[in-house]
Amino acid sequence: MSLILTVTRACNLRCSYCPTAKDGWPSLSVEQALKGLRLYAAYGGGDLKLFGGEPLLVPEVVEAVMDEAEVTPEIRRVYLSTNGLGLNERWLKRIADSEKAILTISLDGAPEDNRRFRRVLHADVPDAYDHILRLREQILRTPRVVITQTIPPATASRAAENFEHLLELGFRRFNLLPGYYIPWRAEQLMALSEGFDAIGERIRGIWASGRPLYLRNLYTWAPTPFFNTGFVVDCDGTIHPSNLGLSSKLDDLRAYTQIGTLDDPPSPQDLAEKAELVNELLMTHLEPGVWESTQEVDRLLTRLCRSLYPALAERRGAARVA
């Protein structure tokens, strides 16, 4: 079980494919976030994930949680997911100096696709692609940085091309994230399938040449596509077994998933029992086409991972022999 802290729903981007309800919500306070961390540690602990919105819009909360996680033995790793706009040299050094932090930066790929879908909220918000490019050399020197390549339906035909662009920038640690909970047309799903095939072939070629490449998807599994399951503390202090209520289209499901608050927390057993209802809730509340698209997109990603496992095993075997 992971601890998922929804630090805030606020964001300085309005990505066209992002389902998160962003306006009119509070953000976690430092006190609330640390209370969630301590409850989780008392339950046995594990991995901690800082999500949004854009969590670096509330830097004091992220900083406080990372500081306490470093000295809390029950916390194994701290995942910070960001659009990158809040990063600077100080934050990257903070990540590099941490023994537990893993930084995940989301990008669509080439600048034209990144700018097409990652629209800024205000005129004074910098271009996300340019901002990350300015920090690229320090990002490449920072350990445990993962690039999440987001793949909405409109860019599925360029998935492999965008992956190649990220490789050309020097990145070698990836997480592939196709668009979930949005409708996909048949031709877009075909393009995604072909893109995944090309990405898989490229990864096998990199491994065969002895070069490093990490794909997080090979090491993760979740009972619900896209959404996180575990000890979820929403930005208003309520506790859920899943963060599916982040979606503006699924906000009404929070009444069904809420199982306590930071002041009246549930037991781990209660959380686990509530988590078993999540997929049923999604199936009954989503439009059939959206759920079917999500299932098919997840199937294609699973197929890619399965196609890579033999090459991964061969690579590990060769490394042991060497």
pLDDT at 321: 54
pLDDT at 221: 83
pLDDT at 199: 98
Q: Phi and psi for 114 in degrees, rounded to 5?
A: -60, -45
pLDDT at 129: 93
Task: Return the SS3 of 44.
Answer: coil
Q: What dotted CATH number matches 2-321?
A: 3.20.20.70
pLDDT at 322: 54
pLDDT at 31: 98
* pLDDT (tens place) for every residue of the chain, 322 residues total: 899 999 999 998 888 888 777 778 999 999 999 999 999 999 999 999 999 999 999 999 999 999 999 999 999 999 999 999 999 999 999 999 999 999 999 999 999 999 888 888 777 888 999 999 999 999 999 999 999 999 999 999 999 999 999 999 999 999 999 998 889 999 999 999 999 999 999 999 999 999 999 999 999 887 777 788 899 999 999 999 998 888 777 778 888 899 999 999 999 899 989 888 888 888 888 888 888 998 999 999 999 999 999 999 988 876 665 5
Question: How far apart (Å, rounded) are the C-alpha atoms in residues 11 and 228?
Answer: 19
Q: What are the beta bridge partners of residue 143?
A: none
Indicate the domain borders of the chain. 2-321
Q: Which residue has the tokens 């930066």?
A: 105
pLDDT at 310: 96
Question: How far apart (Å, rounded) are the C-alpha atoms in residues 109 and 114?
Answer: 6
- The pTM for the full model equals 0.93
Question: How far apart (Å, rounded) are the C-alpha atoms in residues 315 and 307?
Answer: 14
- For 107, 246, 303, the CA distances from 233, given in Å and listed in that order, are 26, 11, 32
Contact criterion met (CB below 8 Å) for 6 and 51: yes
pLDDT at 253: 85
